[in-house]
């Protein structure tokens, strides 16, 4: 190859390199002579330094440095380093033609000929301003976040490594837990847990849960440096790298001891308020019941005292005794109304002709409400019989009529009516779908506003004065109807009066057959041969009265005031024909006593005397029952039924 050809190829190659360098716009690529003067200039240098080739060629490269760097001799140091080591590399602020600064990455390479002679320098500068701004923003954000975390004092915020050792500690952690950073960093976080939680391995469970599910959260007791306990809300979040590797945990602990104490205080206050409300309700109940019983006892005691005095004088006392009996029966009725409220009364459901019942009570109702109020009736021509307890239904009707009278102090008309209706499911509150008779009691009083109507059937709620009502009248009627398969519904509007609806199920054909079988004309003779009857009751007055009633109709008696005493008499004495026991007795209930007797003394018939319809689980359902309070006739009938069935001695 000739020298001319070689020179031509060299020139072509140099031209290509120059075209390549000039085409690059993202980097400033230019040459410096050995003293640092610019000897070449590419388009990239022109773009972000602002100088044209004509302006900068021959100028010293130090003009790109800041005044501070020039004063510090950094341009000269850069060239010396490149000349000595072959390369200089650094980042720093540089200056554009217009004086604007930019952050640059600079590389200066020394250029030498084959003999090692320094020919100059190749300089490459890259504008990193955007990256610098991003880094500055990120660093500022991280610093702000660090200051935020370290400045929080109400929360303990700190980091754990994957094994659970503390790797950072903020002021809140120091305040709440009591450790200085140098005391706790590097220690395992389990030292904050109680001995009980340590025994349950809760620290390990917490980290495993956070690692598996991403978060663990719980409330519990934690321990401070001084050993005192505080109630804490704890959150542990797993921290993972971009590739999903676990690099540690972020833990936030909040001291909620005061919140817990406040909650406990609130719950205690609510409990005390509830107890106070119960006591107030009991006070209202006892006040109203005491008022009613005092009236009854006044009549009973007054009649008996006068009867005693007249009996001594030999005068007729039958009317006075009848008055006392009537007062006692009213007291029993009041007790039954209380049981109706609790839905534990003894009900005897049978077909009842509602229209006939109302007609039969006409005189009683009119005498009860006085002459200023008229009672009108509106019944359907054909009204079927209902399944109900006639005595309790009569009491409920009387209760509602009295309420209607009290709602019309100036007089008016009370309308009692009845109609048959098929009711759909959920059409009337608390009433299943079926065939019913609706007995209504409507007044012309002021009626009730929506709030009063809503509370009307609430136990102890009354609009009457103190001592004039228990607030149990409507709840008792509601309880009686619910227990017999019906419901009580009230309709009222202020200024338009009130209507009480008593919904009762229509009696089915089977009920009439049952009634016929127990018709008085076909009923068995209740006469009972003289028997030996053991009476067991812890109330001496009731015990004596029952014994006297039995002896009055010709029976022999034995008596015991407890279940244990009764068993002792049975074991060492002659066995009675029948044992009658009260149920509610201390130490051994009547149900427990008769169960023992049924197992050990097969020849003895047993009767359980109680005012409750429901007995404890386990008491046999076929046990003979005597409802309290009972009359002499009821007592005789119970003896007839119990002894009539007979007890085998085999």
Question: C-alpha dihedral over 287, 291, 293, 297, to 10 degrees?
Answer: 140
Pair (502, 530) in one structural domain: no
For residue 6, is pLDDT > 60? no
Of 201, 228, 255, the position where a domain reaches its end is 255
Angle of CA points 342, 344, 349, to nearest 5°: 120
Which residue in 293, 444, 434, 325 sits closest to 376, CA to CA?
444
Which residue in 145, 153, 225 sits closest to 183, CA to CA?
225
pLDDT tens readout for residues 75-99: 999 999 999 999 999 999 999 999 9
Query: Strand 155-160's sheet: what is its strand order?
Result: 155-160, 246-255, 229-240, 215-223
197 occurs within a structural domain: yes
Instruction: Return phi, psi of residue 641, to 5°.
Output: -65, -45
For residue 438, is pLDDT > 80? yes
Higher pLDDT, 442 or 467: 442
Pair (382, 288) in one structural domain: no
Q: How would residue 439 be classed by pLDDT, with cut points 50, 70 and 90?
A: very high
User: 221: burial class by Cβ within 10 Å (0-12, 13-18, 19+)?
Assistant: middle
Average pLDDT over residues 268-283: 67
What's residue 526's pLDDT? 53
Does the N-terminal peptide bond of residue 629 adopt cis geometry, omega within 30 degrees of 0? yes
Pair (481, 405) in one structural domain: yes
What's residue 376's pLDDT? 92
Long-range pairs of 93-101 with CB within 8 A, sequence gap ≥ 24: 93/66, 93/69, 94/49, 94/64, 94/65, 94/66, 94/125, 95/63, 95/64, 95/65, 95/66, 96/48, 96/49, 96/50, 97/49, 97/50, 97/51, 97/55, 98/50, 101/66
141 occurs within a structural domain: no
What's residue 451's pLDDT? 82
What's residue 567's pLDDT? 95
For residue 520, is pLDDT > 70? no
Pair (26, 40) in one structural domain: yes
Higher pLDDT, 635 or 630: 635
Q: What is the rounded CA–CA span in Å between residue 526 and residue 643?
A: 11
**At a CB cut-off of 8 Å and minimum separation 6, what does 589 contact?**
563, 583, 616
650 occurs within a structural domain: no
Pair (358, 474) in one structural domain: yes
* Percent of the chain whose predicted confidence (pLDDT) is above 90: 35
Domain tally, the chain:
5
Instruction: Return phi, psi of residue 234, to 5°.
Output: -120, 130
DSSP string, 343-361: T-S----EEE-HHHHHHHT
Pair (491, 587) in one structural domain: no
Average pLDDT over residues 629-649: 77
413 occurs within a structural domain: yes
**CATH number of the domain bearing residue 163:** 3.30.450.20
β-pair type (373-379, 412-423): parallel
Specify the length of the chain in residues: 650
145 occurs within a structural domain: no
Residue 424 lies in domain: 348-515
What's residue 138's pLDDT? 61
Segment among 330-334, 343-347, 544-548 with least mean pLDDT = 343-347
What's residue 65's pLDDT? 94
510 occurs within a structural domain: yes
pLDDT tens readout for residues 582-592: 988 888 999 89
For residue 448, is pLDDT > 80? yes
Pair (220, 271) in one structural domain: no
Pair (249, 265) in one structural domain: no
556 occurs within a structural domain: yes
Pair (159, 265) in one structural domain: no
Higher pLDDT, 168 or 16: 168
Compute the mean pLDDT over every residue in the chain, rounded to the nearest whole number.
81
**Which residue's structure tokens are 């006075």?**
320
pLDDT tens readout for residues 147-196: 555 556 678 888 899 999 998 888 888 888 999 989 999 999 999 999 99
What's residue 383's pLDDT? 92
What's residue 472's pLDDT? 57
On whether the CB atoms of residues 507 and 387 are closer than 8 A, the answer is yes
Q: Give the highest mean pLDDT range of 257-266, 336-345, 382-391, 628-637.
A: 382-391
For residue 156, give the 3-state DSSP assignment: strand
For residue 249, is pLDDT > 90? yes
Pair (440, 553) in one structural domain: no
Pair (320, 242) in one structural domain: no
For residue 305, is pLDDT > 60? yes
For residue 529, is pLDDT > 50? yes
Q: How would residue 414 be classed by pLDDT, with cut points 50, 70 and 90?
A: very high
What's residue 192's pLDDT? 92
Average pLDDT over residues 530-558: 89
What's residue 372's pLDDT? 81
pLDDT tens readout for residues 195-243: 999 999 999 999 999 999 999 999 999 999 999 999 999 999 999 988 8
Average pLDDT over residues 480-508: 89
Average pLDDT over residues 252-265: 87
On whether the CB atoms of residues 217 and 232 are closer than 8 A, the answer is no
Pair (362, 502) in one structural domain: yes
Of 220, 255, 290, the position where a domain reaches its end is 255
What's residue 437's pLDDT? 94
What's residue 295's pLDDT? 58
DSSP string, 588-612: S-HHHHHHHHHHH-TT-EEEEEES-
Average pLDDT over residues 362-373: 79
Of 213, 231, 255, the position where a domain reaches its end is 255
Average pLDDT over residues 118-145: 75
Long-range pairs of 315-320 with CB within 8 A, sequence gap ≥ 24: none
* Prediction pTM value: 0.39
Tell me the torsion sign for CA atoms 537, 543, 546, 551: positive
Q: What is the rounded CA–CA span in Å between residue 378 and residue 418?
A: 7
137 occurs within a structural domain: no
What's residue 315's pLDDT? 83
């Amino acid at each position: 190859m000739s020298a001319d050809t070689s020179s031509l190829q060299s020139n072509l190659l140099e031209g290509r390199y120059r075209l390549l360098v000039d085409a690059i716009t993202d980097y400033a690529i230019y040459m410096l002579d050995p003293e640092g003067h610019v000897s070449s200039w590419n388009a990239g240098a022109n773009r972000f330094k602002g100088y044209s080739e004509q302006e900068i060629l021959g100028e010293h490269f130090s003009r790109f440095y800041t005044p501070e760097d020039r004063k510090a001799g950094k341009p000269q140091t850069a060239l010396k380093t490149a000349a000595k080591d072959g390369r200089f590399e650094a980042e720093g602020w540089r200056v554009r033609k217009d004086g604007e600064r930019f952050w640059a990455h600079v590389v200066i390479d020394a250029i030498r000929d084959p003999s090692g002679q320094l020919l100059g320098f190749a300089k490459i500068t890259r504008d990193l301003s955007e990256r610098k701004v991003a880094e500055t923003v990120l660093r500022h954000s991280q610093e702000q976040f660090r200051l935020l975390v370290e400045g929080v004092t109400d929360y303990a915020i700190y980091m754990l490594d994957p094994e659970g050792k503390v790797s950072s500690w903020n002021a809140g952690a120091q305040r709440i837990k009591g450790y200085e950073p140098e005391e706790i960093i590097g220690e395992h976080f389990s030292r904050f847990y109680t001995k009980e939680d340590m025994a349950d391995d809760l620290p390990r469970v917490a980290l495993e849960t956070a690692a598996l599910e991403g978060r663990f959260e719980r409330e519990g007791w934690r321990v401070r440096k001084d050993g005192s306990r505080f109630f804490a809300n704890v959150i542990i979040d797993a921290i993972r790298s971009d590739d999903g590797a676990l690099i540690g945990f972020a833990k936030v602990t909040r001291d909620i001891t005061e919140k817990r104490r406040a909650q406990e205080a609130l719950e205690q206050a609510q409990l005390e308020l509830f107890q106070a409300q119960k006591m107030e309700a009991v006070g209202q109940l006892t006040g109203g019941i005491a008022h009613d019983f005092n009236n009854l006892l006044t009549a009973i005691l007054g009649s008996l005292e006068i009867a005693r005095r007249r009996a001594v004088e030999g005068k007729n006392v039958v009317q006075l005794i009848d008055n006392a009996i009537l007062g006692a029966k009213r007291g029993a009725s009041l007790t039954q109304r209380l049981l109706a409220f609790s839905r534990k009364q003894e009900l005897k459901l049978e077909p009842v002709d509602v229209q006939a019942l109302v007609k039969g009570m006409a005189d009683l109702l009119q005498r009860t409400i006085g002459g200023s109020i008229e009672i009108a009736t509106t019944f359907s021509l054909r009204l079927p019989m209902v399944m109900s307890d006639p005595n309790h239904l009569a009491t409920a009707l009387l209760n509602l009529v009295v309420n209607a009278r009290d709602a019309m102090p100036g007089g008016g008309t009370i309308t009692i009516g009845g109609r048959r209706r098929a009711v759909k499911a959920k059409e009337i509150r608390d009433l299943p779908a079926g065939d019913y008779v609706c007995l209504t009691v409507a007044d012309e009083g002021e009626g009730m506003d929506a709030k009063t109507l809503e509370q009307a059937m609430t136990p102890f709620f009354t609009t009457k004065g103190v001592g004039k009502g228990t607030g149990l009248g409507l709840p008792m009627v509601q309880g009686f109807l619910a227990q017999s398969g019906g419901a009580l519904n009230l309709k009222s509007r202020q200024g338009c009066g009130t209507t009480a609806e008593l919904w009762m199920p229509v009696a089915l054909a089977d009920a009439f057959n049952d009634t016929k079988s127990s018709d008085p004309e076909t009923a068995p003779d209740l006469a009972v041969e003289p028997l030996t009857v053991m009476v067991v009751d812890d109330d001496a007055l009731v015990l004596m009265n029952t014994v006297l009633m039995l002896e009055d109709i010709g029976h022999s008696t034995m008596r015991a005031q407890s279940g244990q005493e009764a068993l002792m008499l049975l074991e060492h004495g002659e066995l009675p024909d029948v044992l009658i026991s009260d149920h509610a007795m201390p130490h051994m209930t009547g149900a427990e006593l008769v169960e023992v007797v049924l197992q050990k003394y097969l020849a003895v018939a047993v009767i359980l005397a109680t005012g409750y319809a429901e007995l404890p689980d386990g008491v046999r359902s076929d046990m003979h029952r005597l409802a309290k309070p009972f009359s002499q006739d009821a007592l005789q009938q119970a003896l007839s039924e119990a002894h009539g069935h007979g007890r085998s001695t085999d």
